[in-house]
């Protein structure tokens, strides 16, 4: 149509779109119509809410220094100004303004949360009497029982310097009378939460800070029960109930199948042996023993179906009653009871929020499974516990759920053309493949391993969870007050026994686990933003998303060749030198740190195998090798300072597990005094030094 010459003065003639090539128009579709793109984006603001919040939270945790009061004030002002723009600005500005507001809010929430949980952290090694109340009983990686205590009292340590919580591993005999709420006393070795094993390694101090865990340690002395649990202590009533139910389940279902059943039904994993845990990890079934969205969803789904179809048997009243909503209410009550019983684990709380949001959608006549419900659940979690963003469980849960919802539409269309009998089987295969593909990058980046037969293990084990384990657990809970839970527990044991056999079988395959080198820390954020961009954007947004994913892949491909040539442990207890055969360790031992190094290298060798690699020579207390053009000597033992003068030759690098008052200037010395300031040390093949203090910064949780 020709331009109307009688149009008002303020009207502009329509602009003819440039005749770009088809492929370029596809890439720049959002730019051709910016107003339309902004309008579409504004309608999707709810879906972008957790992304923007996560951006602000991520900025807080990525900083190397703690934000100052002025920086918090600046973020608050930015959030307020962006909120005003989001409400009153012109249409193209509203969506970006809303994203800025949410990001600033995420930054503020993360800082508020970090300061609100502040508690004393032990700054020295302590040995002496420890008194406290048991708040948690679990099992360490060494298969030893460990106790988490609060209301802690330490000899000759003022209350202002006493940690709110400590965790003690029991190396001696374990009393049978231990239960949550009991007051206990012991003589224990305590130390601050350990620093990272390497500059780029996971920092346990951060998670300990948010758990208010101010010291960890061990005891070889007997644990004495000073007082029984206070019956009026309702805060630990759930934990006591959990432990009693766990003991009852394991008394009826013996062995590790009973321990798995107790873990699934009550959240108590103290009965699981390290061999069982490792088999579950190697077969990619570890998610089955950590109560998560799978368990909560199966339980709520079974209760929902049981109540809804049960009410349908009522006949004519079922036509009047809102049976679907009644079933949703009962399922929500069951999920809440499961949350109360299973305890305060973050994965359990996250699962309950997701299930509650979905059941709430049913009550409001909305779709239970949609990107909006996932976005709401993620936003609530980030507002409540912003540190969840840094946890693998949060990342994997929402990655799997989002991928399954995105794939639900195409699957529904494809399923109509499939034989009815094959649909459930193919649905199981499809969900396992989709969830596995969505979480595989996170598993590989966070745990440095991939289970090559994980899909097979899940195809065999997950149906037993849904068809036998969770339904029988619910029935056992219903029948237990009547004393009729025996048959249900027997069937429950069959299901958990099958899961254990699948885990043992799959983990025994040759090459069942593929070792993956630790990627650059930017890889997971880039992958996440790229995947979300593909889902939530069009045109140029999708092009940028593809670029982000390709950049992440490029960074990850460089991971094996970018590993440090030399690593020094934070307390000089181990030195690792990269060789053509892999990282050679100066000595056996320091199992936790040595294991983390090898995992990050993508090296499947054991600590003992790495210590036997030909690189270091000499006695056990004096290990030496060559690094670049300089001698490298590792000195340990009580007589290490006496051997320093002989080892400290000009140009040599000396690592010594002792404090040297006056460091000699003839060699590069790394002693405990210097390492206390730097933490773990990494040196690359060019001689560039990186320390944990540089990469972790000065944050609330890194200060002594």
Q: Are 647 and 611 in contact (CB under 8 A)?
A: no
Do the domain assignments include residue 704?
no
Q: Are residues 527 and 612 in the same domain?
A: no
Tell me which of 116, 141, 169 is where a domain ends: 116
Residues in CB range of 550: below 8 A, 6 or more apart: none
Q: Are residues 575 and 543 in the same domain?
A: no
Tell me which of 532, 558, 584 is where a domain ends: 558
Nearest to 618 by CA among 637, 639, 634, 640: 634
Tell me which of 116, 151, 180 is where a domain ends: 116
Q: What would the pLDDT profile of 405-452 be if each residue is shown by its tens digit? A: 888 778 778 777 878 777 777 777 788 788 888 888 998 998 888 888
HSE (side-chain half, CA atoms, 13 Å) at 290: 19
Q: Are residues 297 and 177 in the same domain?
A: no
Q: Are residues 213 and 294 in the same domain?
A: no
Q: Are residues 99 and 248 in the same domain?
A: no
218 token code pair: 């061990």
**Considering only 31-45, 235-249, 332-346, 519-533, which range has the smallest mean pLDDT?**
31-45
pLDDT band at 344 (very low <50, low <70, confident <90, very high): low
For position 15, what pLDDT does the model report?
A: 42
Q: Are 669 and 177 in contact (CB under 8 A)?
A: no
Residues in CB range of 552: below 8 A, 6 or more apart: 522, 523, 524, 526, 527, 530
Q: Are residues 509 and 546 in the same domain?
A: no
Average pLDDT over residues 574-585: 94
Percent of the chain with pLDDT over 90: 48
How many domains is the chain built from? 5
Q: Are residues 535 and 610 in the same domain?
A: no
pLDDT band at 8 (very low <50, low <70, confident <90, very high): very low
User: E strand or H helix at 286, and its extent?
Assistant: none
Do the domain assignments include residue 25?
no
Q: What would the pLDDT profile of 24-35 be if each residue is shown by its tens digit? A: 444 444 444 454
Nearest to 38 by CA among 88, 3, 90, 84: 90
For position 458, what pLDDT does the model report?
A: 85
Query: DSSP states of 613-670 as a string?
Result: SBTBEE-SSEEEEEETTEEEEEE-STTGGGGHHHH--TT-EEEESS--SS--SSSEEE
Q: At residue 547, does pLDDT exceed 70?
A: yes
Average pLDDT over residues 198-222: 94
Average pLDDT over residues 506-534: 91
Residue 400 phi/psi, 5-degree rounding, is: -65, -45
Domain housing 421: 242-515
Q: At residue 10, does pLDDT exceed 80?
A: no
Beta partners for residue 164, in sequence order: none
Q: Are residues 402 and 283 in the same domain?
A: yes
Strand pairing category for 622-627 and 617-618? antiparallel
> What share of residues in the chain are helix, strand, coil (percent, to 5)?
55, 15, 30
Q: Are residues 339 and 253 in the same domain?
A: yes
Mean pLDDT, rounded, of the chain:
86
628 token code pair: 């670049």
Do the domain assignments include residue 15?
no
> Measured between alpha carbons, how far is residue 568 from residues 88, 192, 670 in Å?
56, 19, 9
Beta partners for residue 670, in sequence order: 655
Q: Are residues 493 and 527 in the same domain?
A: no
């Amino acid at each position: 149509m020709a331009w109307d010459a009688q149009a008002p003065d303020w009207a502009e003639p329509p602009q003819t779109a440039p005749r770009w090539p088809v492929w370029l128009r596809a890439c720049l579709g959002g730019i051709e119509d910016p107003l339309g793109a902004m309008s579409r984006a504004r309608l999707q603001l709810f879906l972008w809410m957790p992304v923007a919040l996560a951006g602000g939270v991520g900025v807080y945790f990525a900083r190397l220094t703690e934000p100052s009061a002025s920086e918090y004030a600046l973020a608050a002002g930015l959030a307020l100004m962006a909120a005003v723009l989001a409400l009153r600005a012109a249409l193209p500005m509203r969506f970006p303004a809303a994203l800025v507001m949410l990001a600033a809010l995420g930054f503020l929430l993360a800082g508020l949360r970090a300061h609100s949980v502040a508690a004393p952290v032990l700054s020295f090694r302590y040995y002496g009497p420890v008194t406290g109340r048991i708040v948690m009983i679990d099992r360490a990686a060494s298969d030893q029982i460990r106790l988490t205590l609060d209301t802690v009292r330490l000899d000759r340590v003022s209350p202002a310097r006493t940690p709110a919580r400590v965790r003690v591993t029991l190396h001696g005999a374990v009393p049978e009378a231990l239960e949550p709420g009991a007051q206990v006393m012991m003589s224990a070795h305590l130390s601050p939460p350990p620093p990272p094993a390497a500059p780029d390694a996971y920092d346990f101090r951060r998670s300990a800070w948010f758990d208010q865990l101010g010291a960890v340690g061990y005891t070889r002395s007997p644990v004495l029960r000073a007082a029984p649990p206070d019956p009026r202590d309702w805060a630990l009533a759930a934990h006591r109930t959990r432990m009693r139910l766990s003991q009852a389940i394991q008394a009826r279902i013996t062995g590790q199948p009973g321990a798995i059943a107790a873990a699934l039904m009550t959240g108590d994993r103290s009965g699981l042996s390290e061999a069982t845990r490792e088999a579950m990890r190697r077969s990619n079934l570890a998610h089955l023993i950590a109560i998560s969205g799978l368990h909560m969803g199966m339980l709520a789904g079974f209760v929902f179906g049981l109540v809804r179809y049960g009410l349908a048997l009522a006949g004519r009243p079922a036509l009047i009653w809102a049976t679907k909503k009644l079933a949703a209410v009962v399922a929500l009550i069951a999920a809440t009871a499961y949350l109360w019983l299973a305890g305060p684990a973050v994965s359990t709380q996250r699962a309950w929020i997701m299930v509650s949001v979905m059941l709430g959608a049913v009550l409001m006549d909305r779709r239970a499974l949609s990107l909006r419900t996932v976005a709401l659940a993620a936003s609530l979690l980030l507002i409540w516990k912003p540190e969840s963003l840094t946890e693998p469980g949060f990342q994997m849960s929402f990655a799997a759920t989002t991928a399954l919802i995105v794939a639900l539409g195409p699957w529904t269309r494809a399923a109509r053309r499939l034989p009815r009998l094959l649909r459930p089987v193919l649905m199981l295969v499809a969900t396992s493949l989709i969830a596995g593909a969505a979480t595989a990058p996170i598993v590989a980046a966070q745990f440095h391993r991939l289970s090559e037969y994980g899909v097979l293990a899940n195809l065999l084990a997950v149906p037993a969870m849904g068809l036998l384990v969770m339904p029988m657990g619910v029935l056992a809970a219903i029948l237990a007050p009547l004393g009729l839970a025996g048959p249900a527990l027997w069937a429950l044991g069959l299901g958990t026994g099958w899961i254990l056999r699948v885990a043992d079988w799959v983990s025994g395959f040759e090459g069942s686990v593929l070792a993956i080198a630790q990627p650059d820390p930017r890889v997971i954020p880039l992958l996440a933003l790229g995947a979300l961009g593909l889902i939530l954007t069009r045109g140029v947004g999708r092009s940028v998303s593809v670029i982000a994913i390709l950049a992440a892949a490029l960074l990850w491909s460089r991971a094996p060749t970018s590993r440090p040539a030399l690593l020094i442990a934070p307390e000089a207890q181990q030195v690792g030198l990269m060789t053509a055969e892999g990282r050679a360790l100066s000595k056996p031992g320091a199992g936790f740190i040595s294991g983390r190094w090898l995992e990050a290298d993508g090296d499947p060798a054991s600590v003992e195998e790495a210590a036997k690699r030909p690189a270091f020579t000499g006695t056990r207390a004096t290990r030496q090798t060559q690094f670049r053009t300089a001698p490298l000597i590792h000195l340990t033992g009580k007589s290490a300072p006496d051997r320093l003068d002989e080892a400290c030759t000009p140009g040599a690098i000396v690592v010594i597990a002792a404090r040297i008052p006056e460091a000699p200037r003839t060699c590069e010395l790394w002693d405990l005094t210097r390492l206390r300031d730097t933490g773990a040390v990494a040196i690359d093949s060019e001689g560039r030094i990186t320390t944990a203090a540089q990469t972790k910064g000065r944050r609330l949780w890194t200060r002594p």
